[in-house]
A and B are shown apart, each in its own frame.
Chain A
Amino acid sequence: MVTEENGGGHGNHRPPSGFIRKYVFSTDHKVIGIQYLSLALFSVFLGMGLSFLMRLHLAWPAAKWPFFRGGLMTPEQYLALMTMHGTIMVFMVLTTAPQSGFGNYFLPIQIGASDMAFPVLNMLSFWTTMVSLLVMLAAFFVPGGAPISGWTAYPPLSALGEISGPGQGTGQTLWIIGLAIFSVASLMGALNFITTLIDLRTKGMTLGHLPMTCWTWFVTAILGLLAFGVLLAACILLLLDRVAGTSFFIPGGIVISGQVIAWHKGGSPLLWQHLFWFFGHPEVYIAILPGMGMVSHLLSTFSRKPVFGYRAMVGATCAIGFLGFCVWGHHMFVSGMSPYSAFAFSMLTMTIGVPSAVKTFNWLGTIWGGKITFNCSMLFALGFVSLFVSGGLSGLFLAQPSLDLYLHDGYFVVAHFHIIMGVAAIFAVFAGLYFWFPKMFGRFLHEGVGKVHFWITFVGVYATFMPMHFLGLAGNPRRYSQMTAGPFLRALQPLHVFITIAAFITIAAQFIFLFNVFWSLFRGKEAKEMNPWHATTLEWTIPSPPPFDNFGGVAPVIYRGPYEFSVPGVADDYILQTLAPDLVRKA
């Protein structure tokens, strides 16, 4: 029996009653999206706090601080901060906010569905992510504290237990278990995203009519689906090495703290690196692709022009996703790999420059000659393009095996990945939040405060991360808690002080943002209009905030692509995707 209720997930879909079902264990994709964003907001401030402690120590290594025993930060404490900063930022912020947060909230709405395909699974994904965060944070409170092996957890350091340092006991075990749980959560989320996009699109929402945001959430979900299973397998192997005495990753003959490790032999630390980076490189795109989609969407909306080269943009997104699985070896140039392999990985890595350039030029093509509105959302989107170019160019240096040998373990890499993966993705999240806030909460974020936030952040992140390129070129190693060992490093100390001051100002500006969010939630200008930005996609055809079932049980019908701005001969400078051809007003 074919029921009319079955199409696109519309029909008798009632809101739950009761606080717990409505806001805590909710199956509503919009609530889950906000839950993910809140988790990311908490995590980003925590991760930022950890980085600030590191920066204080790097600038003034001899200074005493009240929160450490004896006032001084030990190298191990520094490494624990670094590990947890990286882990929290990569997994709990960059993976959750752009994809799970905004994707959950807006993917179903933008394709005209009333919820995700599997709402209960969606709820489970979020709460599993929450459990993984709590397990990881528990590492701070166990004897020995948080692990010290970095977010990449290279064995044998990460596999041998307490003997390899404080935090390498229970802390590292909790870290691995937390990451394994996170992998499961991400797999559930990815499965839901892909199914929803494939099978729940409304009438007329062909692939060619999908907003760029949906395309990038889709490709990102595919990356997650294929990558997180590999990370899960790697975590299980590492955990067995730690707790069950196996030797998957631990070679024989290791001497650590003066003790010979006799009970392990034959394992390969490189095997972990291959498994980890086979996940880890796609993970970089998991963080940045949704940002690319959001920025394409916003540049078009605020330039009142269609996305330049829509098909090329879709193709570039898919190409980046595909190539992302072929380049993991470029993280391992210093591992002693064969120069032939290194050459292949290097060529493939530089190939990614082509779709990346397609994207960049198409973004410029989109805003070229447009009627640009410089509001906060647009500023952050433009900031993203700037950061993507700056961070991407240093990637071309690092893709050369011969250069990477020198640069790999230094600050040049820190500069590169912070700019392109960290800050660019965060800028896209800011851009998305300023854009969608009125839809999500019925009120605008304050534009004036937002612009102050933007300019301090934009200048601040460049002031923080640009000088790190020079540190790296000058031979400043990363992952070291003190840079005062040799004269050439002591000479770089003033630059570290400058970076710390810049980081302090940038971090302070984030509290302006936090204030803006909470103030605007209650006191912000009301979004009385359904479509205040005069945008074209489906979320702007429903009230703000959207009702429980999004479209009131009626599946919307799509007549056109997502970026019909400034169409010649039409009265308005935008045409909603749902506007029937005979209703379009002629100029």
Chain B
Amino acid sequence: MAGSITEAVEIIDAGRGGGTGTPAGGGDDGGSSSPLPPIPRRAYFTALQLGLAAIVMFFMALASSYIVRKGLGNDWQHTPMPAVVWFNTLILLASSGTIILARKKLEDGDREAFRSWWWVTCGLGMLFLAGQIIAWRQLSAAGILLSTNPSSSFFYLLTAAHGAHLAGGIFALFYVLFRPWKRSRISQATAAELASIYWHFMDGLWVFLLVLLTLGR
């Protein structure tokens, strides 16, 4: 659209209805050949925050069920925490560090190092999931199953729910690596930033669940 300067300014301002504030499309380099209408970069961050809010509500519902179920029933028994869970936690915390490094390398323009650190993060994420499965196997080998006790039910449920969300995060990490970003509405750097926010969130969520499971056992 060939418009006057005034028109262009108006359109740059568009997006939040006001005449001031961050310009729409703030500095992104995507949107060139996507079949979808372009949207401001910040919309992706808004959506991510909303998605995280919904995830918080989901886990809060499970966490409050955990607390209520423990308080109401008289059949709660101690479920031992498999030692491998602590190792898994360290791995997940480390992955938050490697994803920060990866993004820093991308900002510096060192794409090779970015890819390497990003792969390391993916690897650590998968290692975490494998470690959680080992924890399940250890528990079930000890005769503690999903239906054994409300405490073990919640252990399996919360770890599985977190694992499913983290698996989504791993999918997002691979997506950032392999998607043809030329045809996208956002750049790879933006996608990496979004994925890393989600990743850190999953990390924090796990720490919260671990505290809940440890204190509530």
Contact = CB atoms under 8 A, between A and B. Distances in A.
Contacts of A252: 75
A5 B59 CA distance: 39
Contacts of A13: 35-37
A199 B8 contact: no
Contacts of A232: 58, 61
Given A230-B57, A265-B75, A549 B37 contact: yes
B24 A6 contact: yes
Contact of B15 (A200, A237, A240): A200
* Size bracket of the B interface: 35 or more
B157 A7 contact: no
Most chain B beta-carbon contacts within 10 A, residue among A6, A119, A209, A245: A6
A268 B147 contact: no
Contacts of B53: 225-226
B40 interface: yes
Contact of A266 (B41, B146, B150): B150
Contacts of B56: 229
B18 interface: yes
B180 interface: no
A246 B27 CA distance: 51
B123 interface: no
Contacts, number: 206
Interface in A544-558: 549, 553-555, 557-558
A267 B15 contact: no
Contacts of B139: none
B213 to A, nearest CB: 16
Interface string B135-160: 00000000000110010010001000
B25 interface: yes
Contacts of B8: 4
B211 interface: no
Given A207-B17, A554-B1, A234 B37 contact: no
A118 B39 CA distance: 9
Interface of A: 1-11, 13-14, 16, 27, 111-115, 117-120, 187, 190-192, 194-196, 198-207, 209, 225-230, 232-234, 236-237, 240, 244-248, 252, 265-268, 270-271, 274-275, 278, 549, 553-555, 557-558
6 contacts: A195-B50, A247-B150, A252-B75, A271-B72, A555-B11, A555-B14
Given A5-B31, A16-B35, 14 more contacts: A11-B31, A13-B36, A114-B37, A195-B50, A200-B43, A201-B16, A203-B17, A204-B19, A229-B61, A237-B157, A240-B153, A247-B75, A248-B150, A271-B69
